């Protein structure tokens, strides 16, 4: 019996989860847990179905994207939460091309939205720039350009070898992404759209971009639109990112400029992205790849995936939950509760415990609760998860409340009470949506707290 997505009247939002390879398999489960907790609190109906597509399956069975997969995702799911693909055992990266590019092309996910937003001043490498200076959206065309795989070799392997890669640009494809960028600006009260190309060198493909841009911009007289060559854009975005609200560009340039933007806003570990076809099954993923060099060490930053999840919840129309996730990320960054890529000592799984507002009733008498040690989250398997608002203080002597916004007193943090640490997180407006029950439950972790992480500047 095929599932019916929420958008077609099904009982729950159906999310396909594809963790993929490398750190995708570490960050994605954490994001799923955070989404579960946020939606449970507000009683949003959501269902996750996980798929094991990735390098392991490809090497084991020779299957990358199984037959019928695209149709199933298109007809039976509202969204896809994606991790990352790439594995040194598959040097050709064939499975990644089949799965990720396959889904982008076959689901016609023509909008790749990559927000560049500085969430804490100390995270940018730019001097004297603050949160209010770095806030823009990059729209990358996602179904055409140099990524379509049209090309070939001639006399391969010889001294006379020739390699050709075609840059494919259709009028329809260029027009719809430029129009989407203008519409996004208008709907979000943003005043500036910049289209970027290399039409001075790519005199055919990007001449088309020029002509389409000039036509479409006429419909948006209320928006200040401009054009920059991509090399100039790269310079300007570093020199003064305040100039930009919305950038729209082709597939290749969008890939590059959004990675540049990611660094301006704190690095790849924090950057989210959405692959969208409005009204249809769309795919949400962190910008980073599978990062084999850190895979399996537990140090991957899950916040890019959590922020991508926020984009997904917003796409489903669930803005309060999306906002709660973003605010929880902001609060963590503000308190320097971060993984090593941002100068901290937190592990990938710590964030779930921090973000969620559920009470975990531990099954054993003396549970391993040392959150700062390398205790895998599996060791903390809860016997029950219940919303914190259903508990009274001290009702469960061995419970562990995983969450922020749990406050008994006005003290923000208490430590070392007979070998235990009790934490009362400050109730800030940002975390309030995640903690409607503040004041009812206390958080008790055995020797939880380590020293605050050094900021990237002091590393
Ligand atoms: P791809 O080509 O698959 O997009 P990439 O070349 O952009 O991948 P990534 O795998 O994304 O490379 O990562 C580059 C480096 O950035 C990694 O080796 C890792 O050190 C760091 N990095 C990326 N994502 C994270 C993360 N979530 N947490 C911590 N470090 C990360």
Ligand 1 pocket check for 103: Cβ under 6 Å: no
Closest CA to 139 of 250, 266, 10: 250
Q: Which residues are known to be catalytic?
A: 147, 198, 231, 255, 259
Q: Is residue 414 part of a domain?
A: yes
**The pLDDT of residue 324:** 85
**Ligand 1 lined by 291 (C-beta under 6 Å):** yes
pLDDT for position 328: 85
In the chain, the number of structural domains is 3
Residues 198 and 336 in one domain: no
Could you list the residue range(s) of the whole structural domain that residue 326 is in?
1-110+277-349
In this predicted structure, the answer to whether residue 309 has a pLDDT above a threshold of 50 is: yes
372 has pLDDT over 90? no
397-417: pLDDT as tens digits: 233 333 333 333 333 333 222
23 Cβ below 6 A of ligand 1: yes
**What is each CA distance from 16 to 134, 206, 435, in whole angstroms?**
32, 36, 28
Going by alpha carbons, the residue nearest to atom 1 of ligand 1 is 289
Higher pLDDT, 454 or 459: 454
Q: Is 86 in the pocket of ligand 1 (CB under 6 A)?
A: yes
CA neighbor of 354 nearest in space, from 33, 111, 27, 55:
33
Contact assessment for residue 72 and residue 8, using Cβ atoms and an 8 Å cutoff: no
Q: 17 has which bridge partners?
A: 50, 81
Q: Looking at the structure, do residues 290 and 261 belong to the same domain, yes or no?
A: no
Kindly report the CA angle at 304 between 301 and 305, in degrees rounded to 5?
A: 95
Q: What separation in Å is there between the alpha carbon of 288 and the centre of ligand 1?
A: 5
CATH number at residue 184: 3.40.718.10
Say whether both 330 and 373 belong to one domain: no
pLDDT for the residue 43: 83
What's the whole-number mean pLDDT along residues 16-37? 94
The minimum-distance atom of ligand 1 relative to the CA of 84 is: 3
Same domain, 377 and 433: yes
Spatial distance between the Cα atoms of 144 and 171, rounded to a whole number of angstroms:
11
Report the mean per-residue pLDDT for the chain: 81
- φ, ψ of residue 76 in degrees (nearest 5): -115, 0
Same domain, 128 and 231: yes
pLDDT at 388 over 50: no
pTM: 0.80
- Residue 418 counted as domain residue: yes
Lowest mean pLDDT among 136-140, 144-148, 442-446: 442-446
**Which pLDDT belongs to residue 38?**
83
128 and 254 in a single domain? The answer is yes
3 state SS for 338-386: CCHHHCCCCCCCHHHHHHCCEEEECCCCCCCCCCCCCCCHHHHCCCEEE
Q: What are phi and psi of 169, to 5 degrees?
A: -135, 120
11, containing H or E segment: none
Instruction: Provide the percentage of residues in the chain whose pLDDT is more than 90.
Output: 68
Of all protein residues, the one whose alpha carbon is nearest to atom 5 of ligand 1 is 289
**Average confidence (pLDDT) over 374-381:** 29
Q: How confident is the model at residue 351 (pLDDT cuts 50, 70, 90)?
A: confident
266 Cβ inside 6 Å of ligand 1: no
27, 294, 343, 456: residue to mutate for ligand 1 pocket, most atoms within 8 A of CB = 294
Question: Do 13 and 316 touch, CB atoms closer than 8 A?
Answer: yes
Q: Is the CB of 288 under 6 A from ligand 1?
A: yes
H-type alpha helices, 43-109? 55-61, 69-76, 94-96, 102-106
| Contact 346 CB / ligand 1 (< 6 Å) | no
In this structure, is residue 271 part of a structural domain?
no
Pick the atom of ligand 1 nearest to 23's CA.
27
Of all protein residues, the one whose alpha carbon is nearest to atom 29 of ligand 1 is 300
**By mean pLDDT, which of 214-218, 250-254, 432-436, 442-446 is the weakest?**
442-446
294 lines ligand 1 (CB under 6 A): yes
For residues 249 and 215, the answer to whether their CB atoms sit within 8 Å is no
Ligand 1 nearest-atom number relative to CA 293: 18
Which of 230, 245, 266 corresponds to the end of one domain?
266
Q: What is the mean pLDDT of residues 178-194?
A: 97
Domain limit, last residue, from 233, 266, 299: 266
Contact 15, 51 (CB under 8 A): no
| Angstrom distance (rounded) from CA 297 to CA 295 | 6
Kindly state the percentage of the chain with pLDDT values over 70.
76
Does the beta carbon of 304 sit less than 6 angstroms from any atom of ligand 1?
yes
Residue nearest to ligand 1 atom 2, measured at CA: 289
The predicted pLDDT at position 16 comes to: 97
Q: Beta 384-387 vs 358-361: how paired, if at all?
A: antiparallel
* Same domain? 11 vs 105: yes
- Does one domain contain both 106 and 121? no
- Our mutation pick for probing the ligand 1 site, out of 291, 332, 339, counting the most ligand atoms within 8 A of Cβ, is 291
* 235/131 same-domain check: yes
Whole-number Cα distances in Å, 145 to 115, 166, 230, 245, 250: 21, 8, 15, 24, 7
Taking the centre of ligand 1 as the mean of its atom positions, its distance from the CA of residue 258, in whole angstroms, is 14
Residues 390 and 443 occupy one common structural domain? yes
List all residues 6 or more positions away from 342 whose beta carbon is below 8 Å from its beta carbon.
123, 266, 267, 269, 270, 301, 333, 453, 456
Q: What is the pLDDT of residue 459?
A: 38
CB of 96 sitting under 6 A from ligand 1: no
Atom of ligand 1 nearest to the CA of 303: 27
Q: How many residues does the chain have?
A: 459
Ligand 1 atom, smallest distance to 291 CA: 10
Residue 269 near ligand 1, beta carbon < 6 Å: yes
Domain end point (choices 349, 374, 398): 349
Residues 196-219 have pLDDT tens digits of: 999 999 999 999 999 999 999 999
Total Cβ atoms within 10 A of residue 179: 15
Instruction: Ligand 1, residue 288: give the atom nearest the CA.
Output: 11
- Residue 458 placed within a domain: no
238 and 101 in a single domain? The answer is no
Where does the pLDDT of residue 353 fall: very low under 50, low under 70, confident under 90, or very high at 90 and above? low
> Quick one: average pLDDT of 330-353?
87
Q: 155 with 236, same domain?
A: yes
Q: b or e along 281-317 (b: 16 or more beta carbons within 10 Å of the residue's beta carbon)?
A: bbbbbbbbbbbbebbeebbbbbbbbbbbbbbbbbbbe
Q: Is residue 165 part of a domain?
A: yes
Ligand 1 mean position, distance from CA 305 (Å): 13
Q: Do the domain assignments include residue 370?
A: yes
Asked whether residue 48 is assigned to any structural domain, the reply reads: yes
Per the domain annotation, does 272 fall within a domain?
A: no
CA angle 252, 258, 262 (to 5 degrees): 150
Per-residue pLDDT tens digits for 61-100: 999 999 999 999 999 999 999 999 999 999 999 999 999 9
109 CA distance to ligand 1 middle (Å): 23
């Amino acid at each position: 019996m095929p599932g019916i997505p929420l958008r077609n009247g099904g009982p729950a939002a159906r999310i396909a989860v594809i963790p993929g390879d490398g750190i995708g398999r570490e960050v994605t489960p954490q994001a799923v847990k955070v989404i579960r907790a946020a939606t449970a609190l507000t009683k949003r109906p959501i269902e996750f179905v996980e798929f094991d597509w990735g390098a392991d399956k490809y090497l084991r069975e020779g299957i990358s994207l199984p037959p019928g997969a695209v149709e199933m995702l298109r007809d039976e799911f509202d969204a896809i939460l994606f991790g990352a693909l790439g594995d040194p055992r598959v040097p050709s990266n064939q499975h990644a091309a089949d799965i990720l590019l396959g889904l982008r092309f076959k689901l016609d996910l023509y909008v790749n939205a990559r927000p560049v937003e500085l969430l804490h001043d100390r995270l940018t490498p730019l001097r004297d720039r603050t949160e209010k200076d770095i806030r823009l959206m990059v729209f990358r065309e996602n179904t055409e350009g140099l990524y379509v795989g049209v090309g070939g070799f001639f006399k391969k392997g010889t001294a006379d070898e020739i390699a050709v890669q075609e840059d494919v640009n259709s009028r329809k494809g260029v027009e719809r992404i430029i129009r989407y960028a203008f519409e996004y600006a208008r709907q979000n009260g943003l005043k500036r759209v910049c289209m970027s190309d290399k039409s001075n060198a790519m005199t055919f493909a990007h001449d088309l971009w020029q002509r389409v841009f000039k036509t479409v911009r006429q419909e948006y007289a209320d928006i200040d639109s401009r054009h920059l060559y991509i090399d100039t854009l790269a310079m300007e975005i570093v020199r003064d990112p305040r100039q930009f609200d919305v950038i729209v560009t082709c597939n290749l340039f969008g890939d590059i400029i959004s990675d540049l933007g990611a660094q301006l806003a704190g690095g790849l570990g924090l950057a989210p992205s959405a692959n969208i076809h409005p009204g249809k099954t769309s795919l949400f993923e962190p910008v980073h790849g599978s990062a084999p060099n850190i895979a399996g060490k537990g140090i991957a930053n899950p916040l890019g995936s959590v922020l991508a999840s926020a984009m997904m919840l917003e796409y489903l129309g669930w803005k309060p939950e999306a906002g709660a996730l973003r605010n929880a990320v902001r609060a963590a960054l503000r308190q320097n509760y971060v993984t090593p890529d941002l100068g901290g000592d937190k592990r990938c799984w710590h964030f779930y415990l921090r973000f969620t507002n559920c009470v975990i009733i531990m099954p054993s008498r003396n549970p391993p609760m040392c959150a700062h040690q390398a205790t895998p989250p599996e060791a903390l398997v809860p016997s029950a998860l219940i919303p914190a608002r259903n508990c009274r203080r001290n009702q469960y002597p061995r419970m562990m409340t995983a969450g922020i916004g749990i406050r008994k007193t006005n003290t923000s943090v208490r430590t070392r009470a007979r070998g235990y640490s009790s934490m009362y997180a400050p109730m800030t407006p940002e975390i309030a949506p995640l903690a409607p029950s503040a004041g009812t439950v206390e958080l008790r972790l055995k020797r939880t707290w380590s020293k605050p992480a050094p900021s990237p500047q002091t590393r």
